[in-house]
Amino acid sequence: MRCGFTTGSCAAAAAKAAAYMLLTGKMKTEITIETPKGIPYRADILDIARGEDVVSCGVEKDGGDDPDVTTGAWIYAKVSFAENRNTAGIWKDGLQAEENRQEIYIDGGTGVGRVTKPGLDQPVGNAAINHVPREMIRREVLEVCRIADYRGSLKVEIFVPEGERLAAQTFNPRLGIVGGISILGTSGIVEPMSSQAILDTIRVELNQRRVQGFHYAAITPGNYGQEFMKRAYGYDLDRSVKCSNFIGETIDMAVELGFSKVLLTGHIGKLIKVAGGIMNTHSREADARMELLAAFAIKEGAEPKQCRRILECVTTEEAVAVLAENGKVRPVMEYAAERICYYLEKRAGGNLQMDCVLYSNEYGELARSKGAEEWFILLAQDAERQI
C-alpha cells in the first residue's frame, strides 16, 4: 500500500515555499522538505498569493492509501514579517538583529483547531499544531532565512479552509479542540491503516483524563458500547476512551498513566474473547468466541447438544439465543464477566480494579461485574464535571 504525507509535512512545505517567495521575491511552484523519518517530500505549491509583506500558498494533502478524512484537504501557510522587525531584518530601534534573537512565530488560523482542555500536545489556548510539525515548520523556514541571508523574525500562520467541516469527522470535538483540524505527524509520513496511529490516539485520550484529575476511565471498543450505555442506563459515555481492538495495550497505558480503576463496556462478540485471555480482539489475531461460549455453557450445566449448536453458530447473537432457550444466559454471562475481569486484572498486574458490562443487540445487558454498579455513580459525577 502507498504511504502518504501528514498534515504537518504539508504545513511545513507550504511555510517553506511562502517564506522563500517572501524573502527572495521569486516564484516557487514546488518545494522539497526533509521529513523526520528521513524521506524527502516534494510538494506542488498551489493557490499562491504574493504581496510585499506577506505571501500565502497551499499544499494538497496526499494521504496515500490511508483513508484519513484530511486526504485531499488544502493546507495553507501565510508568512509575513514579524511586527517588531522590518523587511531587512532590522529591529525598529535600528539595531541589527542578532541571530539568537531570530524567531519563527507559528500560529493557526481558519480551520486549524484551538486547544481548550489540558492534557494534549499543546497547552490550552494554543493552536492545535503539534510539537513535531512546529519543529518541522521552524526548521524549514529557518533554512530559507539562511539561504536568503535574512536574520529577522517571521510570522507563520497555518490555515485550512475546509478544516472546521473536516474536524467534525475526527476526534477533535471529543478532545476539546475547537474550530478545526489538528496539524499532526511524528514521522511526517502517513502509513496506511497505521495501528500506531490508533494507539497514539488512545494514549492521548487517557492522558487527557489523568491531567484533568480523573483516576478512573471508562473504555469501550467503539460507538456501539457508548450507545448501549446511553440507551440502557441513560449514561452518556461520550468521554469514554475508544480502545478499538487494542484492549490489552489500553490496559497497559492505563497502568502506566496511574489510573486506579477501569470499566470496560462492550458487545459480547468482542468481549467474550477477553474471557479467554485474548487481548487483541481483531478477527485476524484470534477467534475462539464459540469455543469459549460452549465451554462456559458446559460449566453451567448446559446439555451437550446445546453446546454443539453453539459451536455451529456464526455469530454470538445466535449463540446467546441458544443459551436463552435453555435459561442459561445469565449464569454463562456472569461467569464470562468474571473471567473477563480476571484476565484484565492479570494484564494490569494487579494495579487496576477492573469491571465490565456485557450486552447484546437483541437481549440488551447480559451481565455486569460485581463492582460495575458503583460506576453508574462515577459516570453521573463525571457528567457533572463536563466542561
pLDDT in tens, 275-322: 999 999 987 788 899 999 999 999 999 999 999 999 998 889 999 999
Q: Which three cell numbers stand for residue 319?
A: 449463540
Those residues whose C-beta lies under 8 Å from the C-beta of residue 171, and which sit 6 or more positions away, are 201, 205
Cβ–Cβ under 8 Å, residues 7 and 72: no
- Distance (Å, rounded) from C-alpha 224 to C-alpha 231? 10
Amino acid at 134: R
Of the pLDDT bands very low, low, confident and very high (cuts 50, 70, 90), residue 84 is: low
Phi, psi (rounded to 5 degrees) for 311: -65, -25
Kindly report the pTM of this predicted structure: 0.68
- Distance (Å, rounded) from C-alpha 276 to C-alpha 287? 10
Task: Quote the pLDDT of residue 236.
Answer: 64
Q: pLDDT of 342-384, one tens digit each?
A: 999 999 999 999 999 999 988 999 999 988 878 877 777 766 6
**Cα Rg, the chain, nearest whole Å:** 26
How many C-beta atoms lie closer than 10 Å to residue 381's C-beta? 9
Task: Quote the pLDDT of residue 235.
Answer: 65
Amino acid at 246: F
Task: Quote the pLDDT of residue 325.
Answer: 93
Task: Quote the pLDDT of residue 92.
Answer: 34
